[in-house]
Chain A
Amino acid sequence: MRVLTPEGDHLDFMTLNMGPSHPATHGTLRIFCALDGETMKAAVCEMGYLHRGFEKMVEQGTYSMVLPYTDRLNYCSAMINNIGFCKAVEKMFNVTVPERCITLRVVLIELSRIIDHLVCSCTNLVDLGALTNFWYFFNTREEVYKIWEKLCGQRLTNTVTRIGGMYRDAYPGFEDDVRKVLVKIEAAVAEVRGLIEHNKIFIDRTKDVCVVSAEEAISYGWTGPCLRASGVDRDLRKDEPYYGYETYQFDTVVGETGDTFDRIMIRLYEMLESVSIVRQALDRLKPGPVNAPDARLSLPDRDRVYHDMEALINSFKLIYEGVRPPPGECYDAIEAANGELGFHITSDGGTNPYRIKVRPPCFTQYAAFGPMCEGEMIADAAATLGSINIIAGELDR
């Protein structure tokens, strides 16, 4: 590819298509770049290879039918999507879920955040050639998935919440299982940190690579760990607390330079913070109902359905028609593993959503990827793509 510069020079570049099927893209992304040697002189990113039409699909069914679709947004931490969507709908109803449900959701959110970070970090390290870390993290993730299996019968796409509560209460022994897994998570993080944190090769590969300054990150609309890596202390759990996060003792991890090293390390340290939150939440977990006692949202007890006409009608209405949020618009966001996951729901009072707009965290991060890796080498681009954690499922929706 010959390029004419404004100065009148003719430059020769090799064009290269990375993706849509490339080991570093972890899915279907396409990066079209102009190479001078191995340096990326220009890069154009393309998305849409995993577009399923989520936002149009969900208009065809009831609100409850949206839930399984949300699993497929960020499939690494499906429960956060479930909880985020349910929280948005509950906000439309202005309903507060019971205390046990909130605490349980906090446990699930933080465990999901941990497994999301596990996947992101270990695949990122695989991009750097450190393959062994992959198994250290995936073995731990498997332990969490065993809990998911017991909890809701599913591993990847959980659909664990319902609007107004949970699918069901946690199984007996849930707390012990989680506590055991937390120890394993801490051990795995310690092991991986031991392998990479002071490793000269790793530091050389990631320090001062694809730096994103705080201003740039904010201008791109970044959220979550990547924004915090750039040195901006922004965490919805602290800044706009929900589910009583303000009562938990934890720190937001903030980076300094916004390079790949910071983005990887922030995830490792955030896992430890999440572990501490889960421990605190488990201490608070008290027996009680998990579904809001609101006839508009929650199914009545089976026992009542069989003996009470009102309850039978209620059950029928909820099953056959679904919930009917009051007309209006609502935006609600939670701090997902990747950043701010927002649901903007418009309701016309009917049983189907009029419109649902998802604000996926990695959409803004992917927008910055092309400019980020201009002037960097291919290997750095691969490492950086891992560190900003693009999940094609929620990117393309």
Chain B
Amino acid sequence: MFLFDWIQAHPYQTVGLILPIAIPLILFQVLPLLVLLERRGAAFIQDRVGPSRAYIPIPGTGLRIRAFGMLYNMTDLVKLLFKENFVPPFAFKSFYWLAPAIPVATGLLTPALLPWFAPIAYQDGSAIGVLPGTLITTSSGLLLLFALGSLSVYGVVLGSWSSNSKFSLLGGMRASAMMISYEVSMGLSVLGMLLIVGSFDLTQIVDWQGHHTWGMFVQPVGFLLFLVSMFAECNRNPFDVAEGESEIVGGFHTEYAGVKFMMFMTGEYLHVLVASALLATLYAGGYELLPFPMPMFVDTGVGTSEVVWQWLDTYWIKAHLGGVLAVMLGMTGLLLIGFAWLIAGRRANYARQKAQDRDLRMREYALYTGAFSVLGIGMILGAIMSGLFLHTEPISRAGALAAYSVPIYPGWVDAVTAVIQFHVVIGKTMLFAWLFIWVRWTLPRFRYDQIMGLGWKVMLNIALVNLLITAIVAKAIGGGR
């Protein structure tokens, strides 16, 4: 009973305790989405059908739910889990087993340092408590993030070395050389942003972007360099020489199969996810809504109105939650209805064909169309309702609390705001992840020595010049901190 009492008395602290478990779990749910995005995106770019076979039959209805290829994640998982857990007899066993775990572990740890929503100020007795948007609150968040990210190369290097195969060894050599080289330009490219903001704390960096403009507009060169370094750090095309399947068979995971191979792949996708989230946080405003202030017509009371340029920051969101929710739900609803319309078009296409499974597919598409239409219409209704009837007022404060300048809102406002902001981050992350996928299926692969040349001869120099110019400008304009 004590536990329930404590939870009731300390709801924010309870949430703070749950989040470290919840956020990695939520990210693990985003991972299949990313894999689906990769598969669908690749199929879209490559002009082919993509994942369309795996299905769950619904007994009695004759329906087969394929969920747009989402089920492939499940089938792959089952397949890889039940494959023979082969270990080459010549491998160095302990490191061979350890290696695949490292990328996954670091990939799961790094999200703890990213701000997923704005810090929430709440009333804690007679004081003001703050629930941070990151799981680990530290002023050197970015440094820790880079440190953790760089650890993942150990998985690749250990795996390649312990496999005791020549192809693996070549892959590991490429990976270690490349990741170490790109660490340098990555660190230097992001320094410009840090100089301007004056903090290593990611929450502050996002907050700064919410009141000035996004990082990619302040530091375009740094943004591009960081983007390229992130491609290299994630071992993605055009930097996937460590895998280099046409040259060194499979690179570092040549000798890996089954669930251990899956761990490497999971680690890679986690890294794409984290890298995209980091790009979103550092250069695309993180959980902030817009890169520019919106003109607001403020009634001056004498029949005229005055234009005020208002940043849509967290406090504004909380004060106008109904409107923000209306816009967000409305947009999502319209997108869903558009999607339903697309599927209806596909269904009409099937109706004209003489495909063997025509009726089956048409039933399935009808289900999707119905479901997404209902969902979309529901969302639009919700948008209208929230826009008309949802008004938020700060908790009026008395006594000692009145001295604090931050407005305190009721818990549900905080929760809805945090969820909105989390979705904003995930949305931006997915956009960057799409960029990763787009580039992967467009460009050819670099050669290993050309990657080194690009990293050390080109990117490092640009990063240094960028840093120098940024430092001078920041000193001249901002006065330096």
Contacts and interface: CB of A to CB of B under 8 A. Distances in A.
Interface of A: 14, 16, 22-24, 38, 125-132, 134-136, 139, 195-196, 199, 201-202, 204-205, 377-380, 382
A326 B241 CA distance: 59
Given A377-B448, A378-B247, A379-B247, A16 B166 contact: yes
B446 A201 contact: yes
24 contacts: A14-B166, A16-B167, A22-B249, A23-B246, A38-B449, A127-B247, A128-B246, A129-B240, A129-B444, A130-B444, A131-B46, A134-B46, A135-B48, A195-B442, A196-B444, A199-B443, A201-B450, A205-B444, A377-B448, A378-B170, A378-B248, A379-B247, A382-B246, A382-B247
Nearest to A26: B246
Contact of B46 (A16, A132, A380): A132
B246 A126 contact: yes
Given A24-B246, A199-B444, 7 more contacts: A23-B245, A128-B246, A128-B444, A132-B45, A196-B444, A201-B450, A382-B246
B69 interface: no
Given A22-B249, A24-B246, A382-B246, A201 B443 contact: yes
B83 interface: no
A23 to B, nearest CB: 5
B447 interface: yes
Contacts of A135: 46-48
B441 interface: yes
Contacts of A196: 444
B237 interface: yes
Contacts of B238: 129, 201
B245 A205 contact: no
A38 to B, nearest CB: 6
B286 interface: no
Contacts of B397: none
Contacts of A131: 46, 441
Contacts of A24: 246-247
A379 B444 CA distance: 12
Interface residues of B, number: 29
Contacts of B249: 22-23
In order of increasing CB-CB distance, the 8 nearest A-B pairs are A129-B445, A130-B444, A135-B46, A127-B246, A128-B444, A382-B247, A129-B444, A379-B247
Nearest to B174: A38
Interface of B: 45-48, 166-167, 170, 173-174, 237-238, 240-241, 244-249, 441-450
B450 A205 contact: yes
Nearest to B443: A201
A225 to B, nearest CB: 20
A320 B170 CA distance: 59
A383 to B, nearest CB: 8
A130 B443 contact: yes
Contacts of A201: 238, 443-446, 450
Contacts of B241: 379
A382 B45 CA distance: 25
A205 B447 CA distance: 7
Contacts of B445: 128-130, 201, 205, 379
A204 B45 CA distance: 24
A128 B237 CA distance: 11
A382 B241 CA distance: 13
B444 A38 contact: no
A39 B88 CA distance: 27
Nearest to B250: A23
A335 B320 CA distance: 75
Contacts of B449: 38, 377
A290 B83 CA distance: 56
Nearest to A15: B166
A132 B246 contact: no
A204 B441 contact: no
A24 to B, nearest CB: 5
A226 B47 CA distance: 30
Nearest to B241: A379
B47 A139 contact: yes
Contacts of B245: 23
A255 to B, nearest CB: 20
B340 to A, nearest CB: 29
A145 B240 CA distance: 33
A205 B448 CA distance: 10
Nearest to A127: B246
B447 A204 contact: yes
A136 B48 CA distance: 9
A288 B243 CA distance: 57
A210 to B, nearest CB: 13
Contact of A202 (B45, B48, B173, B444): B444
Contacts of B447: 204-205, 377, 379-380
Nearest to A386: B246
Contact of A125 (B244, B444, B446, B450): B444
A382 B444 CA distance: 13
Contacts of A205: 444-447, 450
A389 B447 CA distance: 21
A297 B447 CA distance: 55
B75 to A, nearest CB: 22
A221 B248 CA distance: 30
Contacts of B167: 16
A136 B240 contact: no
Which of A134, A139, A199, A201: most chain B Cβ within 10 A?
Answer: A201
Nearest to B440: A131
Contacts of A22: 249
A43 to B, nearest CB: 14
A16 B450 CA distance: 22
B448 A132 contact: no
Nearest to B166: A16
Contact of B448 (A16, A23, A128, A379): A379
Which of A14, A131, A199, A202: most chain B Cβ within 10 A?
Answer: A131
Nearest to A125: B444
A101 to B, nearest CB: 36
A126 B245 CA distance: 10
A125 B445 CA distance: 10
Contacts of A199: 443-444
A17 to B, nearest CB: 8
A235 B72 CA distance: 50
Nearest to B238: A201
Nearest to A131: B441
B318 to A, nearest CB: 45
B251 to A, nearest CB: 11
A390 to B, nearest CB: 14
Contact of A379 (B45, B46, B244): B244
